[in-house]
Amino acid sequence: MAVTVDTVDQAYEQVLERCRSHYENFPVASWALPRHLRRPVAALYAFAREADDIADEGTADAATRRAALDALDHFVQQCETYRGDDAMRLAVADAIQRHALPRHCLRDLLSAFRQDVDQGRYETFGDVMDYCRRSANPVGRLLLTLFDADTEGNRGHSDAVCSALQLINFTQDVQPDLLQRNRIYVPMDEMARFGVTEADLAAGAVTPGTQELMRFQLERAIKLLRAGAPLGRALPGRIGLEMRLIVLAAARVGAAKRKAWREPFLRPTLNRAAWPGLIAQAVWYGLPMHRNP
């Protein structure tokens, strides 16, 4: 539901509140970010959440969902002329103009959400990665722009981290994605290789096939996460700390799933007690003599 406001400052307060009220395994606009970047990060988060809700929530038909996503796309293209009072749009329009954010990244996100409306199966891992290229990687690239760190090397590491986070989420949400949204992000050819059917996934069947299939998905995601981990050292100060926290949190979730590999549909989460240790690790890995996780 849209929240109306009178000023840009009120708009930013609303998107920050949305960040604070929505649970995630990974920090969003957290204290680790420099204060001046929390507002644009929260605006981008609110944009992604709204687009995700359009694609996933409620009972609207596919045509209605596509039309709403098209309206968001039009807003992104014409945001400098926006004169409405919707909090998310006001905040995003200001963030785009104030920080010269690349609009094509926001449009890529919308392309992925449109795909969610129309497509529920992926034949190969390449198809899944093409989806991640538009559904996850643009977030990292937008943040690199905000951090004034948009270099070729950083983009490669950021893409690896963002895709890995998406893939780890896929391993956690196999059943709800299928039962609630009729989507399977596990490649069809790999399901066939391990002898796993859609019925097995829907039932949460614990078989040698589902165990090995999900372990294969997880190991590949963790390998990709490690490939991108140097980004946490490449970025300076609190920005680097935030990135190391994200990587460490994802690695902790992945480790919990790996330890319990015989339960392929387990969905581990991070509680508040986990964060002090993760913060200490993030600081430790940021010291010059220590390697990335």
> Nearest Cα to 136, choosing from 114, 160, 103?
160
In the predicted model, residues of the chain with pLDDT beneath 70 are 1, 22-32, 275, 286-293
DSSP 240-263: HHHHHHHHHHHHHHHHHHHHTTTS
d(CA 44, CA 41): 5
For the chain, the distance separating the N- and C-terminal CA atoms, rounded to the nearest angstrom, is 40
Contacts (Cβ under 8 Å, ≥6 apart) of 152 = none
pTM of the model: 0.88
Q: Where in 66-202 does DSSP place strands (E)?
A: none
CA-to-CA distance for 28 and 13, rounded, in angstroms? 14
C-alpha distance from residue 46 to each of 40, 79, 187, 266 (Å): 10, 15, 29, 28
Instruction: Specify the pLDDT at position 25.
Output: 40
Amino acid at 129: M
- CB-based contacts of 169: which residues, under 8 Å, 6+ apart? none
Q: Residue 206's pLDDT is what?
A: 96
Structural domains in the chain?
1-101 (1.10.600.10), 119-293 (1.10.600.10)
pLDDT tens readout for residues 53-93: 999 999 999 999 999 999 999 999 999 999 899 999 999 99
Residue type, 70: D
